[in-house]
Amino acid sequence: MGQKLVAKFAFLPPQNAPPPDTENATFLRTKNGYQFPVLWFVSHSSVEEHSSDTNAELDYTESQDDFSNSNSDLDSALEEEIKEVNLHAAEQIKHEMTNRFTIIFSHGNAESITLIYYWAKKFTEKTKTNMLLYEYSGYPYAEGECSEENTYDCAEAAYDFLVEKKGILPQNIVFFGHSLGSGPTVQLAITKECAGVILMSPLLSCMRTISKMSPGFDIFCNIQKVDKIHVPTLILHGQSDMIVSYSHGKTLFETIKKEFQYKLILIEEAGHNDIESNFEKIFYSEINAFLKHLELFEQKKKKSKKIKLKKEKIKNNENLTQNQSENDGFNKRNENENEKEKEKEKEKKKHKQKKQKYSESNDYISSLSNSFSENDGNYLIEKNNKITIIKAQKTRTDDSDFIKENTVKMPNIDQLIEKRYPEMDHDIVSLKINQFLVRECDSVMKNYFFLLDEEKQTKK
């Protein structure tokens, strides 16, 4: 309720504004469906600067016409089509927007886009820019009622028209607001992408123009938003302004983040509505210098972005290399650990096999000891877990001789054969037993002592 009351006294739409030229005006709609007019200006200086390109295209058109006329074989309809296409191309080049920047201008109170029509044309010529004027809801020839939100909606729709319909890049758009127009301009600056911001005779907020303190139902509270602006900002204010004190412009400028403070221009004798008319030299000089600064700022921004991307790329490559090295080292360590584990497993397996072999050998020797105790003969004897071969006086060169010799010397074995194998021939059984003992016990004994020595070393 309070904001509506403030808006009722804040907005002063002019009563006798002329209607917009239907040839130049375009009617847009806000998201709430309110229709409002916009005026689009393109500086003629850009066309003059590029007239050589246009003339070349026109020459091309004429040559195509000559070519068409010189070829009687061409169909007349085809000739007309060629002419139409070429003339259309020439017209496009003629009206091409070759200016670097496009201004979205938000006018002041008690003004309308038709009242500032001629000033806008002059501005585009002096600054070699394009300009879009848009009307506020509730103002002449615009539907809806005057309100802060409706004004923001009109500004947003005008911006979308430039970007989506006219194909203007956001980095080529500059927001320019005068007096009350500083409200929608600041709102655009914190919600939409742009190249820069110009504020002329701006206000802290509507209620602060009549009181230092702002009630809770204030509108266009620029002082609460300007610190969110992230593009270069120029502020112009007259020190003799009796409607909005120049302290408003000064405070706003000081509130903007330092890296985006371009310049604060305070003109001593200027009032609220005469900076652009009575102080043209200063006004256009500062505007053009600011636009030049925006070009340099954009170049610097692109360069910084490239450097940043390059640094990030280098850093990513370094991280990638480091990660690769770490991965390689990790993989190598894993491989080494795996190799060590394999070696350990191999050793364990080998040790297990040896231990099993030792156990089997031990069991085997124990079984021999059970079969041939100390009283059975003098061929094998076991004492203190050690096996000793005795009575092997002859060097073994032939197994059969050794067997025969020991068979004669071991009568107790024959007695054992009679007890265990009574049905078999004693000589054959004795021979096989002795053959087994001589051949097998020798190898078993060697392995047995080897395992005992290894076990002792392992325990140490």
Active site positions, annotated = 179, 241, 272
Is 25 strand, coil or helix?
Answer: strand
Integer Rg of the chain from CA: 53
3-state helix, strand, coil in the chain (%, to 5): 60, 10, 30
Is 424 strand, coil or helix?
Answer: coil
- List, as one string, the DSSP characters of 291-302: HHHHHHHHHHHH
Give the CA dihedral 411, 414, 419, 425, nearest 10 degrees.
Answer: -160
Q: Burial letters for 87-106: b for 16+ Cβ neighbours within 10 Å, e otherwise?
A: eeebeebeeebbbbbbbbbb
Amino acid at 160: D
Distance CA 378, CA 372 (A): 9
Contact 211, 173 (CB under 8 A): no
Distance CA 120, CA 117 (A): 5
Contact 44, 125 (CB under 8 A): yes
Contact 202, 222 (CB under 8 A): yes
Contact 381, 388 (CB under 8 A): yes
Distance CA 402, CA 35 (A): 127
